[in-house]
Structure 1
């Protein structure tokens, strides 16, 4: 009897794909609404929990996961999730893997994690072109977790290591695991690129012996500076707390942590971004150039903030995903 791809995925999910390296346990379903809107693309079926049991630093009063639908279009989702107690990755498997994986960290100002415009849309678009995509739903620092400023980075590091540990399961080359993030998720992407080796959690299994450094990184309209005048105040306060001083701001501003070993970066920003000013990308670019790290930068006149893929339609900024794929191919071919 012939088994199709959907049946294989459902069978794997039912069996409980490994969330703890080397062990099969039931996985937490992806964030989403119970029903798919008419005309909206289906949600992913497969997830990978990051941590065996509870995530480190669980608050005394654990957060309760809630998904809010913000779209008024019956054919399109625009969801945002808060209260993430079980951080996890939603997996988009391509029909024919090209051997490259992308860890996607959506934005949300470190107050929420958006599901669709900077998560599932990218998962579908990239997987249709052969990339295996892992959309990360990371813990939110202002929800009572210990060591709040490093909670998102701990989840991103752990995610990178799990993807590499399970590379054979997905037809991935462990040396071709990339990172992409948007807005506050762009800060997380850049933080991962510049602090991949920072000891922000205690190892829990064999996966944690692997590198968390992405081969390439793509912070898209990212929060970079955490001090005035460039800081996005909401992201800064949610990550660090309102009382954080200049030393804490500097330690968590990715441009201050660039070294010669930072992976090459692909930057996209709109000049008319009224939420996260373009100077954030320019500051990161300057630091990359100063340290001899290859960087490709695309600045668009119009686009605003949070355009992802669908919200850039009809504008020059709509071409950024194709530019990204061409850059990835050229960088991988050159190395």
Structure 2
């Protein structure tokens, strides 16, 4: 049961709790440890022309302190799939407008909110009072927050957010710009060419955590509902000023809730390992959000009634720039989907879309268990992988994993993703490049890949530890292919083999000798038939597969240097052997 009304003046007078002032927490994070950044502008931000390449500074120490911000950005923390509430909050750290103390006033609370179904975005905004800064609070810092609100509203569907439940939270100096955003906003420019600029900059709620310069706060009757938290031991303009601010909001008719913690000073934020009543302010904020109907009583199935799907994180999402997940979809039975968890960098308004990889397993098995590291790693580099096999089999194998699969499942999956890419309500709407498709598989799954390769939609074929048998296999469940099918290949082909000890080696080398009408590369690493799929991030097979896929499906022609010519990367690698033919240029 929630204890606080929608509008409440709540003084938390809890005795015996340690004073929470400015302190230190866990080691400062590097950018590589944070979610992938989303820049507010494609190029230079207005007012920062020619300065985007100046690197920001991250001060070493126990808190991430950022200075010299010239390219404002967001770090998104998204709830686990199926737990989304549809609510989102932009978190603006403080630091006196000369730095950003972004661990306890940014990333730590953002993680907490994501764990409770609230999408959170840590804002790095430009600093108006840094030495020699040409920026101002009202034009640049506040402008960055306005732009962040518009951007998230424009991409709300990508992040499973309700565009009517996007708010801001600011700490100290960040609280100043958060408060101002609730007083100075506009409906957007409907004639703007920039789709982001068309969006409203009005936040749907404001949370002020010990905000600075409260004398500037002049709420209007249409200012959004506001949550305030501060410490009794803070400086006067905050400890007393928040009571005065509450009365301003009350007189303006703005629903407001105020918490003043008797045993807290300035800068308490949210700190890992700390306890006491003041560290519960985040829970009071969540209670308040529920009272305001910003946060539903139960997690949503997803904005737009998207079905909740289970997800598995493999090897911390992979090493690529897009942290990957393995998931499923009820409308694609019997298949596992490996994809970037955050799809917002892909789409019609972005510079790239996701190519498609269709995958068949060794033994034509009904599980991607043996290949999950390999497939997940590829997905983390910006691919959607549709692999035969149930998601459950990634974590637990039972009799269903030994069921034989059908080649037709791969083409059915391709049909499915093409439909999803064109369906407005789909998570994949406009985000998949349906003209870039790889047929790929290992051993028996490699034969499945060859079998579907005559389909005109296939852009390339990658055959792993496999080759067409001299005579059709008598084994049940294995594609009964004849060598003549090789004549139907119409796109470039890569073989990734395990060397002479691979039981499919002779079949593959025979395939290579027969193909004379399409570009084809034969690579061998002497590891045998099992390949390297189960090794960390798929082992040595992965960079070879990725280089080929990026070349064939993303147009990265520089990657040809891995395969072509006597000085190719693989030719110079003593662990690998490589042969190539039928290319216009072999160098």
TM-score, L = length of structure 2: 0.42
1:24 — aligned with what?
none
Q: Aligned to 1:66, which of 49, 57, 74?
A: 57
Alpha-carbon deviations, 1:220-257, whole Å to 9, x = none?
A: 1111335xxxxxxxxxxxxxxxxxxxxxxxxxx1x22x
Aligned residues: 262
The yes-or-no answer on 1:325 pairing with 2:325 is no
Matched residues in 1 for 2:139 and 2:238: separation? 24
Alignment of 1:187-202 (within 5 A): 187-197=176-186
Matched residues in 1 for 2:158 and 2:169: separation? 21
1:108 — aligned with what?
95
Q: Which runs of 5+ in 2 are unaligned?
A: 1-27, 297-587
Q: Aligned to 1:122, which of 93, 98, 109?
A: 109
Greater mean alpha carbon deviation, residues 325-334 or residues 95-104: 325-334
Q: Which runs of 5+ in 1 are unaligned?
A: 1-30, 36-42, 72-77, 227-252
Alpha-carbon deviations, 1:54-110, whole Å to 9, x = none?
A: 111127777541101232xxxxxx111000111000010110211111111111110
Instruction: Describe the shift of the 1:216–1:58 C-alpha distance in structure 2 as closer, same or farther (beyond 3 A).
Output: same
Alignment of 1:45-194 (within 5 A): 45-58=35-48, 64-71=55-62, 78-95=63-80, 96-142=83-129, 143-145=132-134, 147=136, 149-194=138-183
Q: Could you say what secondary structure the match of 1:133 adopts?
A: strand
Alpha-carbon deviations, 1:151-205, whole Å to 9, x = none?
A: 1110000000000000000000100111111001111110111112399xx9671
Matched residues in 1 for 2:213 and 2:38: separation? 28
Instruction: Describe the shift of the 1:204–1:309 C-alpha distance in structure 2 as closer, same or farther (beyond 3 A).
Output: farther
**Cα pair 2:95 2:101 within 8 Å, conserved:** yes
Q: Could you say what secondary structure the match of 1:206 adopts?
A: coil
Instruction: Describe the shift of the 1:323–1:121 C-alpha distance in structure 2 as closer, same or farther (beyond 3 A).
Output: same
Matched residues in 1 for 2:295 and 2:69: separation? 39
Matched residues in 1 for 2:263 and 2:234: separation? 8
Matched residues in 2 for 1:177 and 1:297: separation? 20
Greater mean alpha carbon deviation, residues 177-186 or residues 60-69: 60-69
Shift in Å, 1:279? 2.4
Instruction: Describe the shift of the 1:149–1:175 C-alpha distance in structure 2 as closer, same or farther (beyond 3 A).
Output: closer
Structure having the larger proportion of residues in helix: 1
2:240 — aligned with what?
279
Question: Per chain length, whose mean CA-contact separation is higher, i.e. which structure has more relative contact order (CA < 8 Å, sep 6+)?
Answer: 1
Instruction: Describe the shift of the 1:147–1:296 C-alpha distance in structure 2 as closer, same or farther (beyond 3 A).
Output: closer
1:6 — aligned with what?
none
Q: Could you say what secondary structure the match of 2:122 adopts?
A: strand
- Note the aligned Cα RMSD (angstroms): 2.6
TM-score, L = length of structure 1: 0.72
